[in-house]
Amino acid sequence: MDAVAAMIPVALGVIMFGLGMSLTAADFARVVRHPRVALIALTCQVILLPLVCWGIVVVLGLPPVFAVGMLLLAASPGGAAASLWSHLFGGDVALNISLTAVSSVLSVVTLPLITNLALTVFYPGDAIGLQWAKVVEFFVIVLGPVALGMLVRRLLPRLAARVNRAVKLASVLVLIGINLAVIIPGWSTLVASLGTLAAAVSLFSATSFTIGYFAPRLLRVLPRQAVATSFEIGIHNAGVAIFVGTVALGDPAFALPGALYGILMNLFALGFGFSVARRVVHRNSVTEGHAYGAQNPVSGSGAP
């Protein structure tokens, strides 16, 4: 398992580099220019979702190590795959890219806070926690490759365009690899609570997609943007949760919920895409208008 722990920062770096290759400064600026939809989505993702996850953990009575792992997952930023799912089912991809960028930056602050709070509640008296040195390491591992990817795209745009697809594919394969690398050695631990943990992960995934779509719609966000926010909130960067659990906290058991979620979330994304997103986008394709960056979402106009 030491070899796996050593490779996880590298794997996460590949994933975050791929994210950086898809970003420009304009993706951050877009949130500032049109803050309403982004504020709604980020509030759901950063505040509401961890609270809901906490409730799921308590109600299902998860073992402490899995309870902390679930909160790690809830505090993780949106995954780069959200924009792919959003593209497949007609969501506002520009919004996804912007939200992934901002949530990744915010997670450097919010994830340590939520992690240490979860450890305090579920591991009272135990001398573990996400210490300052680990927070700095997390900052470097998450944001360093993103900045490098953005720099490559800015300085070498043709090269970035040629290798971007390969990097995205590598990111997907790497994520699958680290999910399996965590699940296989921890199989006996996982099997002991598989039913309860699978129920918690599945319920959390379904709730994430539901909140991600219906909360913005209740606040009169346009359907196509609500589809994007649902994929953004439903697709977490499981690699971050795996890194923190395995490397920063030093116990792979903390990473098992994230690894299981990394597999199951795609099934829920597919189900949401066909059951809700495709029909909603098709029904509103004539009336909704342009993408996030080409309209004024501050007005919140659109079908309720």
pLDDT at 53: 96
Beta bridge partners of 78: 236
Residue 261 identity: Y
Q: Rounded to an integer, what distance in angstroms lies between the CA atom of residue 81 and that of residue 172?
A: 8
Confidence grade of residue 19 (pLDDT, cut at 50, 70, 90): confident
Rounded-to-10 torsion of CA 93, 97, 103, 106 = -150
When pLDDT is averaged across residues 126-155 and rounded to a whole number, the result is 76
When pLDDT is averaged across residues 124-148 and rounded to a whole number, the result is 71
**Which single residue is written with the structure tokens 């609270």?**
51
Ramachandran class of 80: left when φ > 0, alpha when ψ lies in -120 to 50, beta otherwise: alpha
Residue 89 identity: F
CA 200 to chain centroid: 17
- Residue 228 clears pLDDT 80, i.e. is over it: yes
Cβ atoms within 10 Å of 294's Cβ, excluding its own: 9
Q: Rounded to an integer, what distance in angstroms lies between the CA atom of residue 180 and that of residue 133?
A: 28
What is the overall mean pLDDT for the chain?
A: 81
Quote the percentage of the chain above a pLDDT of 70: 82
43 DSSP 8-state letter: H
Q: Which residue has the higher pLDDT, 292 or 82?
A: 82
Is 77 in contact with 103 (CB distance < 8 Å)?
A: yes
Q: Rounded to an integer, what distance in angstroms lies between the CA atom of residue 175 and that of residue 170?
A: 8
**Which single residue is written with the structure tokens 């505090």?**
75
When pLDDT is averaged across residues 34-50 and rounded to a whole number, the result is 92
Q: Rounded to an integer, what distance in angstroms lies between the CA atom of residue 261 and that of residue 171?
A: 16
Q: Rounded to an integer, what distance in angstroms lies between the CA atom of residue 261 and that of residue 26?
A: 31
Greatest mean pLDDT range, 127-136, 164-173, 241-250: 241-250
Q: Which three-class secondary structure state does DSSP give residue 245?
A: helix
Q: What angle do CA 292, 298, 213 make, to 5 degrees?
A: 60
In CATH, which of 1.20.1530.20, 3.90.1150.10, 3.60.10.10, 3.40.190.10 is domain 2-281? 1.20.1530.20
* pTM over cut 0.85: no
Rounded-to-10 torsion of CA 197, 200, 203, 209 = -90
Q: Which three-class secondary structure state does DSSP give residue 235?
A: coil
- Residues across the chain: 304
Residue 103: closest CA among 131, 82, 84, 133:
82
In this structure, of 10-24, 83-97, 193-207, 265-279, the range with the lowest mean pLDDT score is: 10-24
